Amino acid sequence: MERLGRSLTREEECDRILREHGPADFERISIALDKQFRTIHNRAQLLLGVCGVLISASVLVTTGRLIGHPEFSHQHFAGILLVVAGVLEIGAAAVVVGGVLNVRWITQQPGEDLRGWVFSNLLYRDRKTLAYRIAIILILLSMMSYQIAVAIALLQL
């Protein structure tokens, strides 16, 4: 019996998939894996949309800051935070596009047998999941930088 709260290792998950779907049922296993890839891709597309909104907001705020050119204390620090926010947003978008939304078909995955093939797909899925999590961290850091910069500017009014 599995302990609650503990994730399965990749090997245990592979064994479970083969046990539950049948060791010779390539189609059912392929469909199950495809659903997992669709889930991570859908979430990545949503995250990419958030990146687009944040990049647009950063451009507007930075442009407004340059055009309006208000003078206030800590203006330099707020400007640095806006630049950092922009870099983090672009970095998150790059991680999503390059690390999650890149396409390699599951039928192209290596593996000498069904177990090896399932295992390589799980490894590929986990790399995409890691890239997604890194992008989320970058987006959250970007949001914090952006909000701190705006708060600094608003406190000067």
Enumerate the domain spans of the chain: 27-155
Q: What is the mean pLDDT of residues 135-152?
A: 90
55-57-60-65 Cα dihedral, nearest 10 degrees:
-100
Task: Output the pTM of the full model.
Answer: 0.82
Least confident of 13-17, 46-50, 73-77, 135-139: 73-77
pLDDT at residue number 40:
94
Q: What is the pLDDT of residue 62?
A: 64
**pLDDT tens-place string over residues 19-76:** 888 777 888 899 999 999 999 999 999 999 998 888 887 776 666 654 455 566 677 7
Percent of the chain with pLDDT over 90: 41
Say whether pLDDT at 132 is over 50. yes
Give the mean pLDDT of 13-21. Answer: 89
Query: Which single residue is written with the structure tokens 């922009």?
Result: 86
